[in-house]
């Protein structure tokens, strides 16, 4: 999967995190249902139906596993990016440029704290939209800390120039009336 990063972001991309093991739980449940419930039922019907169920189940589970594995959060000199997808028409690259980034945050609850699997959000400064929203990310807490530190370093180092908007308040009158 790192070849996707190399081809889309060049050689200077820094990988931050991917999906945690908790993202695979639903696929594991589906695999158990397909291979230990649907397949034996298909064998009771006939061998040809069982073969179709076996091939279909393997394709479904394999596709889900590869899709989950394809989620990669990384940054480069241009910004922060989330790459996903394995099929050519399903590949997706979303991101926020450093100059447009507001902040990176992670959401925590009891389960995310227990399993170290966090939801990572990176928002845009001007619209306050969430450009990157990734659930179940391993080391998401560390990724957020790294992104915010890198963003602050770029702001203080002058690599990013932030333009403040002027307020159009009227000056108070002096003297008179």
DSSP string for residues in 126-168 = TT--EEEEEEEEETHHHHHHHHHHHHHHHHHHTSS-PPPPPP-
What's the chain's Rg over C-alpha atoms?
A: 24
For the chain, the average pLDDT equals 85
* pTM across the whole model: 0.77
**pLDDT per residue over 78-102, tens digit each?**
999 999 999 999 999 999 998 888 8
Banded model confidence at residue 174, pLDDT cuts 50, 70, 90: low
């Amino acid at each position: 999967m790192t070849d996707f990063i190399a081809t889309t972001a060049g050689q200077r991309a820094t990988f931050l995190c991917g999906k945690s093991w908790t993202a695979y739980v639903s696929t594991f449940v589906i695999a158990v249902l397909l291979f230990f419930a649907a397949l034996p039922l298909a064998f009771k019907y006939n061998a040809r139906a069982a073969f179709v169920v076996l091939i279909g189940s393997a394709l479904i589970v394999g596709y889900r596993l590869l899709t989950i594995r394809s989620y990669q959060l990384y940054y480069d000199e241009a910004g922060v990016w989330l790459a996903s997808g394995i099929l050519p028409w399903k590949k997706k690259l979303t991101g926020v440029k450093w100059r447009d980034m507001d902040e990176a945050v992670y959401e925590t609850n009891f389960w995310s704290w227990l399993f170290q699997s966090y939801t990572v959000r990176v928002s845009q400064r001007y619209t306050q939209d969430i450009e990157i929203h990734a659930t179940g990310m391993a080391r998401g807490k560390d990724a957020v800390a790294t992104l915010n530190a890198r963003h602050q370093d770029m702001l203080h180092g002058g690599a990013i120039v932030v333009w403040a908007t002027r307020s159009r308040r009227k000056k108070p009158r002096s003297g008179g009336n």
